[in-house]
Structure 1
Amino acid sequence: MEILKKKSGAGFTLTPKNFGVTLRSKGGFTLVELLIAMFAFGMIIIAISGVSQSVIKAQRKAFALQEVQESGRYLLEAISKEVRMSTINTPEITSTDTLNITNSKDETVIYNFDGVNGKIKKQIDGGIWENISPTNLDLTGSFYIRKSSAPTPKALVTINMKIESPGLRVEQTANIYLQSSISSRNWDY
């Protein structure tokens, strides 16, 4: 007695040996293979987006740091240029937030670290105080004045500054510490 093979439209074959259902080998993916491929693809996409986000944050931090550094160097150069060619009127002191000088135009110039507002201010001949630091930066600092008398009188001014860039996000904040020592070229301090 021989049982005939029956084919169903769903890809199953009934055979006389096992009277069960067997799957035929067909090209394609199983559900498990598809899930594994989707999981691997998802992990790769997450890793790539994480790396790109880190690069963007690092770039923002670098821009903020560059802005702080450029502003700080400009301030130091501007003050240094004027101090170099001036007479130092402030007495020798270890630390002060005010520097009083007489510049080459015979004007009395006062520099002041305004700790309340976080700015450096400048006053010429008793006029109005002018903000010389950028509005988007906070500055704190002090002046150190050292005067020597032997063999020739010289004054040395050291400027210490901490410049901060308050940003809305952590990657947009930056702070830097700067110090510069300027020797007055004017022999009578």
Structure 2
Amino acid sequence: LDSDEVYIIVSLCTRTDTQVLYVDPTTGILRYESKRGFDLFNSQKEAYEFVTNGSRSGCKSRILGRAILGYAALGNFAFLLIATRLIASIPNLPGGGCVYTVGESQWIKISLQNAQSQGKGEVKNILELTELDIDGKHYFCETRDITRPYPSRMPVNQPDPEFVWNAWFSKPFVNVGLPTHCVTLLQVL
């Protein structure tokens, strides 16, 4: 985009529509109102055309991800963690679905306009977070609860919190009413 606005365009395999989340440029809080034609569309193409006003050159960067692994606004930046490559570890679960291992991930660092001084400890913690080795060590299933013995009667968006690696990191999506947009990530032991 010509401005510094940041949008996250999401199409899930479990839905037939596309959502557009706006990143508040000051606080980093995700914004979503579930309004058709504003942040809810029939396709990625419609959503992208709305965000860019139909301009192909109006977008500064575009990063394609296979899954959202987490999001957090920390100090002067917001961080979006996405999986860019997935490995089908268990490709055909009984009754359908697939367990994926994160093959490659990417941290997307979004500058915020609220210049706040950060202590050395906070900066160190943020750096350590973004240096975590995710690739090949974390897995998820978009359609089944794999935090409990299989088959689980619990819905996929109510996992056993004891096994969820990214619970706090998925809260921003829960807060805007999109609890399944950030996958439930489990860590390989």
The TM-score bracket by the shorter chain reads under 0.3
Name the one with the larger strand percent: 1
| TM-score normalised to structure 2 length | 0.26
- Larger Rg over CA atoms: 1
TM-score relative to the length of structure 1: 0.26
